Structure 1
Amino acid sequence: MGEPRLPRKCLSPARFSSSGPVCSGWWRSADGFAVRIDKTRHLSADGSRSALVSCLQSAAAVRARSRRQTLAAAARWSRIPPTRRAVARRASDGKVTSAIGRAGGDIGAIDLVEVRKKTLIRDLTFKASDERHGQQVVERLKAIDGIKVAQVSDRTFLMHLGGKIEIKGKIPVKTRDDLSMAYTPGVARVCMAIHHDPAKAYTLTTKGNTVAVVSDGTAVLGLGDIGPNGAAPVMEGKALIFKEFAGVDAWPICLATKDVDEIVTIVKALSPVFGGINLEDISAPRCFEIEERLQKALDIPVFHDDQHGTAVVVLAALINALKVVKKRLGDVRIVITGAGASGIATAKLLMKEGARHIIGCDRAGAIYAGRTENMNPMKEWFAKHTNPRRVRGTAGDALADADVFIGLSGPGVVSLKDIKTMNRDPIVFAMANPVPEIQPEEVGAYVRVMATGRSDYPNQINNSCCFPGFFRGMLDVRAKRVNDQMKLAAAHALASIVAKGELSDEYITPSMFDARVVPTVAAAVAEAAVKSGVARKQHR
């Protein structure tokens, strides 16, 4: 005869009250429950951390209509002698919720997983501010007598189990007839059609909707050179965004080489099956040479998102921020920290739009003509084309009387003291991730328009508002290359989504979840490609 299970009414969370400062997970009734815990930690999309806790909960003291019924039921269902009822009651006295609350955790969902002879298994989810905080909560739970933390996992890691993307067939293959057309012998006719007219690859294969996301793992997020395997989750994530937001099929290609010649050769060899190349997380200055050489060699667009995606979203946000403060791009003084791929590309695009007063800064300070310290060919370009007054000193020195600060560097580059020296109604884009150059809380009322690269503050400036729509537009007209007209068109299209009546200090750029973003950017890019003569087909 099977083991009797606790009646459903005894397991209902509604019958119990939480004894801790945060709503429940360690259930407590008038009779009490002894609980042991199995905990798993999670990381949410915005960076907050939570934990999943499986509670092994003794059923020794299930409340019934009378004390005698309670003890009999507990002994029968849990096979725990009635003499243990006091122990069960004491062990359940809100220890779990209290521990989580004292550690600053925020309890979320609680689920009953399994009923055993002497225990109940529960899953409990709680949030924490970061990984370290989550571990502190775990250690508090482990320290509770009678509690067992049996398993720990992270919901971001769970999301990545087995990867985030897959290949799926578009047609069913259920019969011999299906197989003969999808594969041999019928496919041979399609092969020969493409052989005689290579342009048919756009309509008879996936080429017309497929992008390669290529990285060597040398400049991944703020992590630096972590190699091709370490870069793979980022490239998969990018491929997922391509598909989910723009319907573009993208595939991560992480290369185990840092040699520029080898990277160019490999990508050229792979290019026939792709309609575009997205270069990603390749360190400067190599990224400039790789992109330039590939674009010259290939007849499909090559787009380094760290450069051009960043430049597009920054320009879009700045167009609207300047409307808020009623200033003109050609008049304002702009300081950019970070003379890497994104910093230089942003400066170039701003100048194409009409910016005239830009000062670029790196770790050595302001870049100016004649500087010899920490220079490379791209910084030489920066020195030659920007900072006409040859301002010297630190980034903080350069900010004196500036109107706009664009941070594409790292935390702590500028201080509140530096921000206070800026011109009236300053605009600050602190875009370093995960920690911006200066925190919005620090600048407070001293800044008129504040933006970051983070989703937990207003005005998030994110490349994801650019690259899905940008590639969608290029693929739709079978563009041969990327040019400045397309980038400027994308920036203006993105800025236009925020209507004049909606513009404010805290709303200068749309969210990537705004359904208008991808089609608006795609249409603008496609039209610009046609007008500039780099499209193979007309935009519908």
Structure 2
Amino acid sequence: VFHDDQHGTAIIVGAAVLNGLELSGKKIEDVKICTSGAGAAAIACLNILLALGARIENIWVGDKDGLLTYRRNDVNDKWRGKFCRHDSEATTLAEVIEGADIFLGLSAAGALRPEMLQKMAPKPLILALANPYPEIMPEDAKAIRPDAMVCTGRSDYPNQVNNVLCFPFIFRGALDVGATTINEEMKLAAAHAIARLAHDPGLEVSPSGQPAVYGPDHIIPNPFDQRLILRIAPAVARAAMASGVAKRPILDFDAYHDTLNRFVFRSGLVMKPIIDRAQGQGKRIIFSDGEDERVLRAAQVLLEERIARPILIGRPTVLESRIERFGLNLKPGRDFEVVNPEDDPRYRDYVTLFHSLVGRDGVTPDTARTIVRTNTTTIAALAVKRGDADAMLCGLQGRYIKHVRDIRSVLGLQDGVKDVSALSMLIMPRGAFFL
């Protein structure tokens, strides 16, 4: 079984370690590694580091019960037992972290204490991957050790170790050659491809809004880098072929690259002028499904790319808890406006407006109040009608035609327009067609 939180995280950790050690001028076979956490993800990360050249005698592993050593009688499985130390009387990670080059955290907030970080070797690499709160916050780590390179699992800090970096691209390469398994060679190929991509300048920006340039604050690519599929899929396909697990070898990798390129950039070329036009105009887009993870992540992108100002329909407590759960850098009021369907000061005005529009169709005042309280598509349309938003996006749930009717009941048709239609973009080899 290829598990995203296990093997996917390991691949990205491998890429981060490759570049982090390159920037610090260290060799992987020489570095001392201290790991907080001994679960499946941590063990997978350590195994890929061993495959990259780390030495097991340089690895120390601790969990909530202390260091994995011969004195522990609860370490009775082969996966953790592999990393049990037989040469130390130490019982905690704090006792052995002095001189460590890498801290790998897959445990809990606060596991890396300031005094522990202070003892680490020059230019330490910190992979604090607990979510939503890492083992040490990046700003705290930098205050204690300005020479440290810090990675977290969060999108609001540089160096996000996110397994989305290799999904679904590793599967794209594996499927395209008919691989019978995903082996160690393919995972290592993905790690090396991701590491190399961070060296190449792209269009992405860092969380600070500055161009992403290879260095301590950019040792792995942005998860939204569109070139990931172009680098990872071919590398994985080649590794599958070289290791003998490919049933349909690719004969022409140039043609394969062109095929992948069409997946990524054909729509991008069409959309780029639209995005360029939208950027900086400050238009307000209201999302009817504001509590949905996809909408929250889209809102993050809109802000990062300065495409529009999001307005989210949702309950404030739910929005805040999900933003924290997904590790997003969003704050109500600062980054987006909230329309709370349960308690919004505009509710009475929206009900009055809605009833004036649909009252003659048999909608009573009581029914109008219920609809404006419960139908988020109607709420979004009313916001546009009143000028509280410039555009709306809805339809993640429910039937398309129902949403169209709800919108039309509020916004109607512009003068001279007889009907509304759906517009689909079809990308063909000769160009894009709008149907």
- Calculate the TM-score normalised by the size of structure 1: 0.42
Q: Which amino acid aligns with 1:416?
A: P
Alignment of 1:504 with 2:215, yes or no, is yes
Task: Report the residue type matching 2:91 in the other structure.
Answer: G
Residue 320 of structure 1 contacts residue 503 of structure 1 at CA under 8 Å; is this kept in 2?
no
Counterpart-to-counterpart distance in 1, 2:77 and 2:13: 24
Aligned match of 2:157: 457
Q: In structure 1, what is the equivalent of residue 68 of structure 2?
A: 367
CA distance in 2, matches of 1:436, 1:375: 28
Asked if 2 retains the 8 angstrom alpha-carbon contact of 1:308 and 1:345, the reply is yes
Matched, 1:411 2:115: no
- Is 1:344 the counterpart of 2:43? The answer is yes
The structure 1 residue matched to 2:244, chosen from 533, 536, 539, is 533
1:323 counterpart (15, 19, 22): 22
| Runs of 4+ residues deviating >4 angstroms | none
Aligned mates of 1:345, 1:307 — CA distance in 2: 6
C-alpha distance in 2 between matches for 1:440 and 1:352: 28
Structure 1 contact 494–517 (Cα < 8 Å) conserved: yes
Shift of 1:370: 4.4
Partner of 2:227: 516
1:44-443 to 2 correspondences below 5 Å:
291=1, 303-356=2-55, 357-373=58-74, 375-383=76-84, 387=85, 389-390=87-88, 392-443=90-141
Return closer, same or farther for 1:397/1:499 CA change in 2, 3 Å cut-off: same
1:112-139 deviation line (CA, Å, top 9, x unaligned)? xxxxxxxxxxxxxxxxxxxxxxxxxxxx
CA deviations over 1:165-220 (Å, ceiling 9, x no partner): xxxxxxxxxxxxxxxxxxxxxxxxxxxxxxxxxxxxxxxxxxxxxxxxxxxxxxxx
Partners of 1:425 and 1:443 in 2: how far apart? 12
Following TM superposition, by how much is the alpha carbon of 1:394 offset from its aligned partner in structure 2, in angstroms?
1.6
User: SS of the counterpart of 1:336?
Assistant: strand
Instruction: Structure 2: state its 5+ residue gaps.
Output: 202-212, 253-435
Displacement of 1:377 in angstroms is: 3.8
Structure 1 495/414 Cα, relative in aligned 2: closer, same or farther at 3 Å?
same
Cα distance in structure 2, aligned partners of 1:365 and 1:514: 39
Could you tell me which residue of structure 1 aligns to residue 258 of structure 2? none
**Equivalence for 2:353:** none
| Counterparts of 2:39 and 2:181, CA distance in 1 | 23
Q: CA distance change for structure 1 residues 380 and 530 in 2, over 3 Å: closer, same or farther? A: same
The question of whether the paired residues in 2 share the 8 Å contact of 1:336 and 1:406 is answered with: yes
* Paired residues of 1:470 and 1:522 also in contact (CA < 8 A): yes
Which digits, 9 at most, give the CA deviation of each residue in 1:57-90, with x for residues without a partner?
A: xxxxxxxxxxxxxxxxxxxxxxxxxxxxxxxxxx
AA aligned opposite 1:463: N
Aligned-partner SS, 1:451: strand
- Tell me the SS of whatever aligns to 1:382: coil
What SS does the corresponding residue of 2:82 show, helix, strand or coil?
helix
Aligned residues: 236
Contact 2:8 2:166 in 1 (8 A): yes
Please report how far the alpha carbon of residue 338 of structure 1 lies from its aligned counterpart in structure 2 after TM superposition: 1.1
The superposition leaves residues 251-273 of structure 1 with CA deviations (integer Å, 9 ceiling, x where unpaired) of xxxxxxxxxxxxxxxxxxxxxxx
Specify the alignment match of 1:494 in structure 2.
194
Contact 2:130 2:153 in 1 (8 A): yes
Go from structure 1 to structure 2 and tell me whether the alpha carbon gap of 1:531 and 1:388 turns closer, same or farther (over 3 Å shift).
Answer: farther
1:379 CA drift (Å) = 1.6
CA distance in 2, matches of 1:476, 1:518: 12
Pair 389,425 (structure 1): closer, same or farther in 2 beyond 3 Å: farther
* Larger strand proportion of the pair: 1
- Paired with 1:344 and 1:417, the residues of 2 have a C-alpha distance of 25
- Kept in 1: contact 2:129–2:135 (CA 8 A): yes
Which protein is bigger by CA-based radius of gyration?
Answer: 1
What is the aligned partner in structure 2 of residue 467 from structure 1? 167
Whether the 8 Å CA contact 2:75–2:81 is kept in 1: the answer is no
Deviation at 1:396, TM superposition (A): 2.0
Give CA-to-partner distance per residue, 1:306-333, whole Å, 9 cap, x none: 2211110001011001111111101110
Contact kept in structure 1, 2:36 and 2:63, CA below 8 Å: yes
Q: Alignment identity in percent?
A: 42
Alignment partner of 1:448 out of 148, 157, 162? 148
Give the Cα separation in 1 of the matches to 2:86 and 2:195.
Answer: 29
CA deviations 1:389-412 (Å, max 9, x no partner) are: 436222222311101001111112
Gaps of 5+ in 1: 1-290, 292-302
Deviation of 1:473 (Å): 0.7
Structure number with the bigger relative contact order (C-alpha 8 A, sep ≥ 6) is: 2
Residue 322 of structure 1 aligns to which amino acid in structure 2? L
Distance 1:495 1:392 in 2: 35
Give the CA RMSD over aligned residues: 1.7
What is the letter of the counterpart of residue 189 of structure 2?
A: A
The 3-state SS of whatever aligns with 2:60 is strand
